[in-house]
Amino acid sequence: MSGAIGLRLCVCIALLLPAFLPAGTTSSILDMTPPISRLALADLRDTFEEVHSGHRHEAIDILEPRRTPVHAVVSGTIRKLFLSNPGGNTIYQFDDVGVYCYYYAHLDGYAEGLREGMRVERGDIIGYVGSTGNADARTPHLHFAIFELGPERLWWKGKAVNPYPGLVDAVKRGN
């Protein structure tokens, strides 16, 4: 009898665990690697709270030469490849647990063969720095954002998370 109770308890915990992960300490942000190789602290500036085009930026812009490779910051799944007026060529990547969405925008293009639903590993090249969308053509950069997903897992309803501290930690770790 105690074995059956223990098994039921384990199953219940396994089913409930995903509901508690967003509030927990386990986070793909802690395992993030920089989206640009050889990124230095001097390359990072916290622009999360700045006002851009009349609204809070909620992202960080990383200035790099056009066609610089952009890497997946965590392992996960490419959920959406999208062309938008503000973001240009964009990538929405979910982490393995589906807690966070990593958003890469103003890309010059996608890595060859990249497609929605595709699994990528941390460090894989997924795109290239550009200035598509509403970005100034003379200032290619990566617009990088993180959204905490709700239970519906809808990236457009996610809560913006400042990527700057996580990127600073990643650069310091030398990932």
Q: Is 72 left (phi over 0), alpha (psi -120 to 50) or beta?
A: beta
Complete domains list, the chain, with CATH: 27-173 (2.70.70.10)
Mapping DSSP onto H, E and C, the string for 86-142 reads CCEEEEEEEECCCCEEEEEEEECEECCCCCCCCEECCCCEEEECECCCCCCCCCCEE
**pTM of the shown model:** 0.83
Q: For each of the chain's 175 residues, which pLDDT tens digit applies?
A: 444 444 343 333 333 434 444 444 357 898 999 999 999 999 999 999 988 878 889 999 999 999 999 999 999 999 999 999 999 999 999 999 999 999 999 999 999 999 999 999 999 999 999 999 999 999 999 999 999 999 888 888 889 999 999 999 999 998 6
